[in-house]
Amino acid sequence: MTERVGFIGLGVMGRPMAQNLIRAGYRMHVCARRPESLEPLVAQGAVACASPAELAAGCDVVCTMVTAGADVEAVVMGKAGIMAGARPGLVVIDHSTIPPATARRVAQTLAARGVDFLDAPVSGGGQGAIDATLSIMVGGHEPVFARAEPLLRRMGKTVLRIGDSGAGQVAKAANQLAIVLALVGLAEAFTLARASGVDPARVLEALRGGAAASRVLEAMGPKMADRDFRPGVEARLHHKDVQIALDCAAAVGLAAPGAAVAAQTFNALMARGGARHDSSAVLTVVEAMRRPQASGSSA
């Protein structure tokens, strides 16, 4: 591969995504806040850069995978950010999950410098990043997408241009809304099973064989059945994402009552100190809302 690719943000998702690009033959430059995050990539031949500006100066394409909209703006437009080292013709691809309005603002700012931008959030979790089977939802101009598509297909199985700038983030908001609603539904289902004296593991097996079967059930059902809340996807991330979905809904005049309930449930989990727990820990919030059974029987 002749294109020089930079990757900023080498966490649970970003690191395996960058590694897949290295395996595909791209010449990789990397930048991260924690030096230890760079080591596995450097061992595979990547060039470590001291700042996003330095990375951008030596690359044709820069991918970012950070946490929130403010992080993307800091990486792109902050001191020693991508813009400080960018040349006209550079393509910036942001894989973070951020508000659509932020993606559009970043796209406009970069366009004024002759730099193209794609918002390309992903779904599929850490294992999808490792296996290069992510779903990648892209917003941006068609010619820019066409240029970036071969690279994106080295990281994802489903790669779709949704529309213009911000459209990828709208699709991701819809994706996350469906997920968090499913999480709350599963939490209620397993709480119902336990409260009724039924083995949640047996209920899980039954759900797997019926219409309730889903990827969310496969990922989160065993955790809820076993009450295993060790972090996979940290709850703080789904908390952020459902707020983005609510803001998107408000922007188009949609009430989104399910999103409101999910947001309140994740708010409660944050208040209980569950930010760094797995999102399956929403189960504890539902359990805490259970009313004590009335003594005696009603006539």
Question: Could you list the active site residues?
Answer: 172
Report the amino acid identity of residue 207: L
Dihedral over Cα of 86, 92, 97, 101: its sign:
positive
* Beta-bridge partners for 94: 64, 119
- And the tokens for 205? 């097996």
Distance CA 155, CA 134 (A): 7
Instruction: Report the candidate in 218, 216, 215, 224 with the shortest Cα–Cα distance to residue 188.
Output: 224
Report the amino acid identity of residue 45: G
- And the tokens for 169? 């983030």
Distance CA 36, CA 44 (A): 14
- And the tokens for 258? 């399910």
Distance CA 134, CA 84 (A): 31
Distance CA 132, CA 16 (A): 8
Instruction: Report the candidate in 287, 280, 284, 241 with the shortest Cα–Cα distance to residue 98.
Output: 241
- And the tokens for 201? 């593991």
Given the structure tokens 């809304």, which residue do they identify?
A: 177
